[in-house]
Amino acid sequence: MEVLQHEVDPPSSRPYTIADFIVSKMDNVGVSQRSLAARTGYSRSRINRILREEDRLPITMVEAQAILASLGVGELEAALAQEVIRDKAPVTSREMEVVVSLIAVVFGGLATKIASLVDVVEGLEFGDIRREHGLKVQKAIFEMLKDLYTDLMQRKDDRIDHTRY
């Protein structure tokens, strides 16, 4: 069995793997190791050995796929998690789980919507849609998210009553 051993050095802790993404996802959805064992059919001791903080054993691809599926993590979200781990993004496993979940929602179904552009935009043909447009789309999405979160932070700051201090 192939073993998933992609590791990343987060800023303030040890290297992390897909197992750390799983642990963060479990925390986020409120699933215990015992419940995960029941959902997957793996023993509680095996679940503990591959997900514990210290002396963690390697997790196989089959185990990772079964565990992720039992947590409701789709193929896109799992692939994105692997990409973040592979690219050694400077984030913690909790931050990675949050970012990957957002990206999975953003891109889930996007291919179908882009394909429908030929029906929505008059004169657009599939030959007009090119791979090199992807970087422009990526930049536009990043700028849009930056603007949305900047606005959110401004509104959040406006809600804080600074006169009380």
Q: What total number of domains does the chain contain?
A: 2
Residue 18's Cβ-count burial label (10 Å; 0-12, 13-18, 19+) is: buried
Mean pLDDT over residues 17-25, rounded? 89
Which pLDDT does position 105 carry in this prediction?
A: 87
Domain check: are 30 and 87 in the same one? yes
Domain check: are 32 and 86 in the same one? yes
Which pLDDT does position 159 carry in this prediction?
A: 67
Which pLDDT does position 64 carry in this prediction?
A: 93
Domain check: are 27 and 76 in the same one? yes
Q: How far apart are CA 38 and CA 44, in angstroms?
A: 8
Domain check: are 100 and 19 in the same one? yes
For residue 94, CA distances in Å to 22, 64, 90, 158 come to 10, 17, 12, 27
Residue-number span of the structural domain to which 93 is assigned: 3-107
Are 87 and 94 spatial neighbours (Cβ–Cβ below 8 Å)?
A: no
Domain check: are 158 and 100 in the same one? no
Check which CATH number belongs to the domain holding 18 and give it: 1.10.260
Domain check: are 14 and 78 in the same one? yes
Domain check: are 144 and 99 in the same one? no
- Tell me how far apart the terminal alpha carbons of the chain are, to the nearest angstrom: 59
Strand partners, 60: 3
Query: Tokens standing for 75?
Result: 């193929």
Domain check: are 159 and 95 in the same one? no
Tell me the average pLDDT of the chain.
Answer: 83
Per residue in 50-66, pLDDT (tens digit) is 999 888 899 999 999 99
